[in-house]
């Protein structure tokens, strides 16, 4: 059976970018602080990722204000709920991704979108149901490409489809992290991918739009951006580990 994503590995610079990102992430995950204070590090990374994901939706707030509980913005609160829930959704994701996407949307869009649309695809780009089914087929075993490549495709496709009402980006970024966690690239969800995306926000937006065109160059630019975000996320993890000691 032909792997539908395998040809993406032949795009210029994609495989070296994925390899470099994996090397940087593996090095960060060996930090000695994770053996002694892994829980503290995980909580801090989760907070930083939620704040960054909210900012990428146009709802930016100072991290220390969020930490202090001073921000009640519903998009930010949804991003925090999503970040907290990821660990409990890892096992379900590879078996029932459509169910997990619905759950992520309920968490992300509560207080933002009408109650009757929470967890339900409501439109977006043409052919949304079929494309969501195709995406689910990839997640449930339809490809054997590296997890970071699959995460990039899941992330980019959800951004392009915008299947839900409200903060689709929060859902898309969370789904990408679940791919990395369930695929063994980042089992504990410690790599601050959202921070990496935010650090290169103009590139994030431009590359996502390029991916949506479906052209080889557009897809390649998006994958390379995601690989760069993983490297930056690994750097953020190392920074947190150094601070925690």
Tokens of 135: 């995406």
Whole-number pLDDT of residue 199: 98
Whole-number pLDDT of residue 51: 98
**Alpha carbon separation from 180 to 115, 171, 245 (Å, rounded):** 30, 14, 25
Whole-number pLDDT of residue 245: 81
- pTM of the full structure: 0.96
Q: If you search the block for the tokens 């000695």, which residue do you land on?
A: 32
- Other Cβ atoms less than 10 A from the Cβ of 37: the count is 16
Tokens of 173: 């970024």
Whole-number pLDDT of residue 183: 98
CA distance 240 to 45: 7
Taking only the tens place, the pLDDT of each residue in 170-180 is 999 999 999 99
Q: Collect the ranges in the chain with pLDDT lower than 50.
A: none
Whole-number pLDDT of residue 122: 85
SS3 185: coil
CA angle, corner 98, sides to 168 and 198, nearest 5? 30
Q: Per-domain residue ranges for the chain? A: 6-244
CA distance 9 to 82: 30
Whole-number pLDDT of residue 91: 98
Q: Are 195 and 232 in contact (CB under 8 A)?
A: yes
Find the length of the chain: 245
Homologous superfamily of domain range 6-244 = Fido-like domain (1.10.3290.10)
């Amino acid at each position: 059976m032909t792997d539908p994503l395998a040809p993406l590995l032949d795009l210029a610079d994609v495989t070296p970018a994925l390899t470099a990102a994996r090397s940087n992430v593996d090095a960060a995950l060996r930090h000695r602080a994770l053996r002694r204070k892994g829980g503290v590090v995980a909580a801090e990374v989760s907070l930083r990722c939620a704040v960054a994901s909210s900012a990428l939706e146009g709802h930016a707030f100072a991290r220390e204000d969020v930490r202090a509980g001073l921000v009640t913005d519903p998009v930010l609160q949804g991003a925090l709920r999503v970040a907290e829930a990821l660990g409990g959704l890892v096992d379900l994701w590879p078996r029932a991704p459509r169910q997990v996407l619905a759950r992520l949307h309920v968490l992300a869009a509560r207080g933002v979108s009408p109650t009757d649309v929470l967890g339900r695809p409501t439109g977006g780009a043409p052919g949304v149901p079929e494309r969501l089914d195709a995406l689910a087929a990839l997640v449930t075993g339809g490809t054997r490409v590296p997890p970071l490549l699959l995460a990039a495709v899941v992330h980019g496709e959800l951004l392009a489809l915008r299947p839900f009402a409200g903060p689709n980006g929060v859902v898309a970024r969370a789904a990408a992290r679940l791919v990395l966690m369930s695929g063994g690239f980042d089992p504990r969800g410690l790599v601050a991918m959202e921070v990496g995306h935010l650090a290169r926000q103009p590139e994030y937006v431009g590359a996502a739009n390029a991916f949506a065109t479906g052209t080889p160059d557009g897809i390649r630019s998006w994958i390379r951006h995601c690989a760069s975000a993983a490297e930056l996320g690994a750097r953020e993890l190392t920074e947190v580990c150094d601070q925690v000691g």
